[in-house]
Amino acid sequence: MRRIALLFLLFCYGCTAPDLEKINGVSFVASREPADLEHIEALRAVHAGYAAVMPFGFIREMGSPEIIFDTERQWFGETRQGARQYIDLLHKNGIRVMLKPQLWIWRGIFTGELEMTSEEDWKRLEWHYADFILTYAELAEATGVGLFCIGTELETFVKHRPAYWKWLIRNVRERYSGKLTYAANWDEYKRISFWQDLDLIGIDAYFPLSEARNPGVAELRAGWGRWKAEIEALQQTVGRPVLFTEFGYRSMDYTAKKPWLVDRNEEAVNLEAQANAKEALFEEFWSEDWFAGGFVWKWFIHHSRAGGPGDNRFTPQNKPAEGVIRDYFQKH
């Protein structure tokens, strides 16, 4: 009997816990029109198991507390009806969803700078934002969405109104039974005070990795050293898995110098640099058991018309980076 017990212990010692399934996701960009099966087939081709659906609310100018959303003037995919149609179609075809309502400030002003000038306006912003987020939390519950993001890159709002965000999380949980995250910008995530109230640490992972024009995979992996150590340290402190709520690189020279750039600059197209940056990120993170996965930024529903060899924007579609994503998603 002792021998059997010893053999059992030795067997268990050699066992490892099965890897948790990674969130292999893409950011499914809202379109003017409904999605159909053709648009889903491209997701299947890269072995995406998740898609982020992103309805939008709009703010007319910096300092305005009003959030306009779910109107007839918006694109179909930006509305509640459109989000529901995308969710239902994705679910029907075996792709899980993170619902990620986002704000857009007129002229593309960075949402992390959203700030009010009076207590009255802060209160009004809080009311409007709760209306916006709770509307979509209820949609997430009604459609069986497994992951809901309560905000994206709202550093100043979060910093000035910490009690409000605690209140908002409680109210979301009263309406929604799935997992919650927040999408913090790469230089914001360490200052978020409510990670322990959520289920995942969400990071929009636009960390600068290299100043080289065409960095190789080894150089890019080395560039992750400091950032990865800091991310893991926070994860160990908070005790929540890390999710890259967005990750991406433009297909251009110097892509890893300032990966957050969204301007229409004229840097030369560099498909290799984008593919290398994607590969380095996958190699650094996808094997870590504390890392939940992430969502590629960004993926347009009309795959045949998106990206391509002459495009220097974020989408990996119809570029070598798409093949990198497909290979790693298939392995994990």
Amino acid at 101: P
Condensed to tens digits (0 to 9), the pLDDT of residues 17-66 reads: 334 689 999 999 999 999 999 999 999 999 999 999 999 999 999 999 99
H/E segment holding residue 9: helix 2-14
Average pLDDT, stretch 262-266?
A: 75
**What is the rounded CA–CA span in Å between residue 126 and residue 208?**
32
Average pLDDT, stretch 203-228?
A: 98
What pairing do the DSSP bridges indicate for beta strands 242-247 and 96-99? unpaired
- Banded model confidence at residue 6, pLDDT cuts 50, 70, 90: very low
> What average pLDDT does the chain have?
93
3-state secondary structure of 140: helix
> Where do the domains of the chain lie?
21-331
pLDDT value at residue 159: 97
**What is the rounded CA–CA span in Å between residue 15 and residue 9?**
10
**11 Cβ partners below 8 Å, 6+ apart?**
none
Query: Locate tokens 């004229």: which residue?
Result: 266
CA dist 28 → 3, 270, 302 (Å): 56, 23, 10
Lowest mean pLDDT among 104-113, 194-203, 228-237, 282-291: 104-113
Amino acid at 146: G
Cis preceding linkage at 331, omega within 30: no
Superfamily classification of domain 21-331: Glycosidases (3.20.20.80)
- Give me the percent of the chain exceeding a pLDDT of 90: 90
- Give me the percent of the chain exceeding a pLDDT of 70: 94
pLDDT value at residue 122: 98
Q: What angle do CA 201, 206, 212 make, to 5 degrees?
A: 145
pLDDT value at residue 176: 98
Residue 147: pLDDT over 90: yes
Condensed to tens digits (0 to 9), the pLDDT of residues 295-327 reads: 999 999 999 999 999 999 999 999 999 999 999
